[in-house]
Every structure is written in structure tokens, then in C-alpha cells.
Amino acid sequence: MSLLRLLPLVVLLVLSTLPARAATVLLRDADMERALQQIAAPILSAAGLGSSGVKIMVIDNGSLNAFVTDPRHIFLHSGLIMRLGSARELQAVIAHEAAHIANGHITRRMSNVRNASTAAGLGMLLSVAAAAAGSTDAAAGIAIGSNSAAMRRLFSHTRAEEAAADAASVRYMLRAGADPVGAKEVLDLFRGQEALSLGRQDPYMRTHPLTRDRLRAVEGMIAGHTGIPEDATANYWFQRASGKLSAFKRAPDWTLRRLDASGSRDIALMREAVAWHRQSNLSKALRAIDGALAIRPGDAYFLDLKGQILLESRQFGAAVQVYQAAAARAPREPLILGGLGRAHLAAGNPKGALQALEQARARDFRDARILRDLAVAYAQTGQLAMASVVTAERYALMGRMKDAELHAKRALGALPRGSSAWQRADDVLIAAKRAK
């Protein structure tokens, strides 16, 4: 989980390139994202979007919000996931966002905004979304109209859209066999916030205006559907996603006191490993994660955590071996390949790192850490122009378009015109110019 737990070898490089205030920080973690995707899959299918057609991504933000920017992503704030109590509540949130996608509520307004299939496009969308949710400093680096009222309109839904999304979301929940009472439980979370001033409301209230009518309508829709049993599989994935998230976000002592509330023994051990690791107790962390692996032998995502623990404890050779085992079991998982690349880099093997990180980036351009490590690997293998390309993409992803432009220009000057790397740099440059 990328909570800026910095790798010692690259710590200086990172500190010198981190922005004073990052616009929107995606919280990337292979295990958490896989769990969220498992929870979402039946809902997305029921919405006609395909079980893996929409990627569920987490934003490192303690406030409560969920939103869509384009048809390929649903964004959840980490604070919302930690606040929800069960899989059915999370499924209700996802169903509501899926309805906004399926009903075309976003795309209708989005003709001016670049799509989210490149680092620059996604970075711009996230910056605008952050501004729309009320964190105005997030828009400092960019200026799409630089009019926060316009941005708010872009990402806030009308009451009619909310009513349509609620109705569709309850249909999706029922079609997926999920208990739609989750939809009412989510709305109850925001009860009473209507009376608060804008600044004190959760951003969810701004993106999805809540009215008493909405709650009443949802209560009416779910009234005839009681007694749907809880989905044990979905709840396992919910406990795993929210348990890993809270283990990284809360104080380790808090986690260690609440291991019994983890839902299952393997999740409790995984959380215990995170807590001990954050207290720099390597032996206890390893004992815990090995315990989790004994319950789920060869679980690539537990191996991923073990690799991270070893890497951040400077056991570079062991980290490479564990990440290799994880990557062998989940060869299509970009964030695990990213971990393998990072471990290779730390172990002084930039060629091995380059191979893993290029594969990782080709599968997923949305991880700033992969882009950062890839730039280091390019630089260490003498490919400075390529280092500039991925650095430009990393800044663009973070919404720092001025820095992105600088590195894109450097890359364009050094690469063969029209090559695929040249085109990636050009894409960033075009986005930077448009942002002006």
C-alpha cells in the first residue's frame, strides 16, 4: 500500500520531487483493489458494464466521497471505505456510481475534458474532481476554466439524476442478489448533513445532493425485499479491503487491539503483520504474514505484502525472491510487478527492474510509484529520454502540469519523432497546453 513509506535508496530522490501539496493521491494496493473488484463484480455485471469493465480505485482522503469521472473508473475515498460497515453498503455505493455511468450522467457533460486512458487525461480529471469536491488547493496546479462553480457543476449531479441513479442501483442490487437495504444504510450515514454549511458537509453531499425525498424513495423501493441473506464471500472481501486499509491508516496499536474484529483468521494475521511492520518489528511482522500464508498457501497478495515488509526492512535479496513468487502466481497484476521492479532496483539490478516495471506500466499507467521507479531504472540504464517521458507522465498523473510540460519537452527533444515514446510525451505536452 503506497502510504509514502519511502524506500531508503530512493528517499532523497522522492523527497526532492514530491509536491508541497499533491492534488489527488491515489492509494494503490494490489490486495485492496482486487478485493474491491470482487465486491463490485456482481453489481457491475447487473448494471450491464461487464464484471471487470470498470476499475474501482481508492483516493487517499479521509472524508466521505465516491464519484465517477469517466466510464472506466469509480473512485472511492479511503475514509468512506473505512466508515462503511459491510459489503452490502459498499455494493450500494458502487451500484449508485455504476448507475451514473450506465445512465450517461457524466459523459453527457464531459465532452470538453480529455478521457482517462492516459496519465495526463486521468490526472486532469482527478484534479478537477478534487476541486469539485471542495478541496480548492487541488486545482492550483491546473486551470480548466479555473472556475470552481463550473467544476462543481461538472461533477455534481442533479436531483433528477440522483433519483434515477438510486432507482437503478436498487435494481442492480436485487439483480445481483445483494441486500438493497445497504442503499438505505449509506444514505443514513449522511442524515442531518443537509443542515450543515457547505464547508462542514462531506464531499459526498456536494457530488450527490441528498434530500429527504431521496431517502423516502429508497425506503419505498426496498420495502418489499427483506430477508436477503448476507453474502459471506462479499463480506470476506470487504473485511480484507477495509482491514488492510485501516491497518495502514490507523495507529498500529489501534489495529493490534482490534484483531479479533477482522472477520477471519487470515485477515487478522495480515493486519497484525502490517501493524508490526509499521512498528519496525520485522520478526513479528514476518511471523504474522507467514501465518496468513499458512492459511492461504501461495496467496499472491499476501506474498506481495511479505515482499513489501522485506523490502522496506532492507532485506533486498529476500524481497526479490518473495516478489518473484508473487508475480509467478499473479502474472497479470501490475502492482505486484511494480513491487518486483522496486525490489530489483533496491538490490542493485536495474536491468531486472526495467523489465518488470515496463511490464507493470504497460498494464497500468495509473501508479505514480511505478512511474517514479521506472524513471530511476531508465536513468540507471542510461536511457535519459525515457526517464523524462515517464517523469512527465508521473507529474501529469498528479495534476502538476507545469512540471509535466518541462519533462515532456525534454523528452520530445531527445526522442525519434513519431516513435511511441515520443507520442506519449507529446500527449502530455498537449494536455499541459490545454490546461493553460
Q: Which residues of this protein are in contact with Zn ion, per CB under 5 A?
A: 157, 162, 165, 208
Q: DSSP string of 109-160? A: T-TTSPPTTSHHHHHHHHHHHHHHTT-GGGGTT--STT-HHHHHHHHPPPHH
In this complex, which beta carbon is closest to Zn ion, that of residue 118 or of residue 156? 156
Residue 144 or 168 having the CB closest to Zn ion: 168
Q: Shortest gap between Cβ of 208 and Zn ion (angstroms)?
A: 3
Q: How big is the CA angle at 212 (ends 208 and 214), to the nearest 5 degrees?
A: 55
CB nearer to Zn ion: pick between 29 and 166 = 166
Smaller CB distance to Zn ion: residue 185 or 364? 185
Q: Minimum CB separation from Zn ion for residue 167, in Å?
A: 12
208 or 244: whose CB is closer to Zn ion? 208
Look at residues 109, 64, 94, 264 and name the one whose alpha carbon lies nearest to residue 173.
94
Indicate the residue among 106 and 178 with the shorter CB distance to Zn ion: 106
Minimum Å gap between C-beta 66 and Zn ion is: 8
> How distant, in Å, are the alpha carbons of 62, 94, 108, 163, 365 from that of 189?
15, 15, 29, 18, 34
Query: In the complex, what is the shortest distance from the CB of residue 100 to Zn ion, in angstroms, rounded to a whole number?
Result: 6
Question: Closest separation between CB of residue 192 and Zn ion, Å?
Answer: 19
Backbone phi, psi, residue 73, to 5°: -135, 140
Q: Residue 363, exposed/middle/buried by CB under 10 A (0-12, 13-18, 19+)? A: middle
CA–CA separation, 433 vs 383, rounded Å? Answer: 26
The one-letter code for the residue type at 55 is: K
Task: Give me the least distance between CB of 93 and Zn ion, in Å please.
Answer: 10
CB of residue 157 vs Zn ion: minimum separation in angstroms? Answer: 5
- The whole-angstrom separation of Cα 312 and Cα 413 is 37
- Count the Cβ atoms, other than its own, within 10 Å of residue 159: 13
Q: Measured from the CB atom, is 208 or 361 closer to Zn ion?
A: 208
Environment class of 60 (CB within 10 Å of its CB; exposed 0-12, middle 13-18, buried 19+): buried
Strands 66-70 and 73-77: antiparallel
Least Å distance, CB 65 to Zn ion, is: 11
Q: Reduce the DSSP state of residue 26 to 3 states and report it.
A: strand
All three cell numbers of 119, joined, read 496519465
Which residue of this chain has its Cβ atom nearest to Zn ion in the complex? 208
Measured from the CB atom, is 40 or 347 closer to Zn ion?
40
